Amino acid sequence: MNTKPIIGIAPNYSYEKKEYTLSEDYVLAIEKAGGCPIVLLPHQALPPFLDGLLLTGGGDIDPLLFGEEPLCQSGEINPLRDACEMRICEAALEKDLPMLGICRGMQVMNIVKGGGIYQDIGVQAGTTLKHIQQAPRSYGTHSIFVEDNTLLTDLWENKRTVVNSLHHQSCSTLGEGFIVSARSADGLIEAIEHKDNRFAVGVQWHPEAMKTEEMGLLFSAFLKAAAEYQQARR
């Protein structure tokens, strides 16, 4: 009997409201691509029945976790979420579990493998583009350029595409095993992938909010890898 791949999604957590929150865009994107999404609570270990892991966007990561003191421009941190996502991301990479990291999720993946991030791209990276858009989340506001011989090259017909942009942090140095998949015109890393895992891809934009063919292909590739993992696991 064929069953849909089960995709665990890491939600946000509010200390003030004592609530878990998750945008329905992530859920709908997984369902549209053929998966069965479930929410992973922050105190849980990585469930053994998962076929894929989605790390979502959100607030800043504690700079102490990547060996730095906080800059004045750093935002609110979430220790519970940081600890959970670092733990489950490391476990997923070790298991070769298909994983897609979005915005903050890409940064978590990179840090887990020893990489670094800019706490504020305006201060530390000298960015020349507007990376926190004032436009609907579904609307792309700057270009990215795909690197040769990457998963995105295989997925998309064009090497240049337009994405939304909602971040003030970004990957700086790459973690072990990661390569750059795409950059923006000002040189910032916009996508990474792990060269040794079946599917471990991070993107700095929010594909779940963009209803384009290219973003659909990204989620479809993620679910295809999850289905293959499910089959191998059985």
* Chain segment 144-184, per-residue pLDDT in tens: 999 999 999 999 999 999 999 999 999 999 999 999 999 99
State the pLDDT at residue 233.
84
* Length of the chain as a residue count: 234
In a domain, 49, yes or no: yes
* Chain segment 28-65, per-residue pLDDT in tens: 999 999 999 999 998 888 999 999 999 999 999 999 99
Query: What b/e readout covers 11-23, taking b as 16+ CB neighbours within 10 angstroms?
Result: bbbeeeeeeeeeb
Q: Mean pLDDT across the stretch 123-132?
A: 93
CATH code for the domain in which residue 60 is found? 3.40.50.880
Structure tokens at 114: 């020893």
In a domain, 70, yes or no: yes
State the pLDDT at residue 207.
98
Q: Domain range for residue 184?
A: 6-233
Whether the predicted pLDDT of 8 surpasses 90: yes
Whether the predicted pLDDT of 211 surpasses 90: no
Q: Can 103 be counted among the known catalytic residues?
A: yes
CB 71 within 8 A of CB 119: yes
Counting the structural domains of the chain, the total is 1
| Res. 2 pLDDT band, cuts 50 70 90 | low
In a domain, 40, yes or no: yes
Catalytic residue among 85, 190, 193, 208: 208
State the pLDDT at residue 28.
98
In a domain, 107, yes or no: yes
In a domain, 12, yes or no: yes
Whether the predicted pLDDT of 1 surpasses 70: no
Whether the predicted pLDDT of 84 surpasses 90: yes
**Mean per-residue pLDDT over the chain, rounded:** 95
pLDDT over 90 percentage in the chain: 92
CB 152 within 8 A of CB 191: yes
| Res. 93 pLDDT band, cuts 50 70 90 | very high
In a domain, 1, yes or no: no
| pTM of the shown model | 0.96
Structure tokens at 174: 């790459």
Q: Can 157 be counted among the known catalytic residues?
A: no
State the pLDDT at residue 130.
95
Q: Can 206 be counted among the known catalytic residues?
A: yes
Catalytic residue among 103, 167, 190, 193: 103
In a domain, 175, yes or no: yes
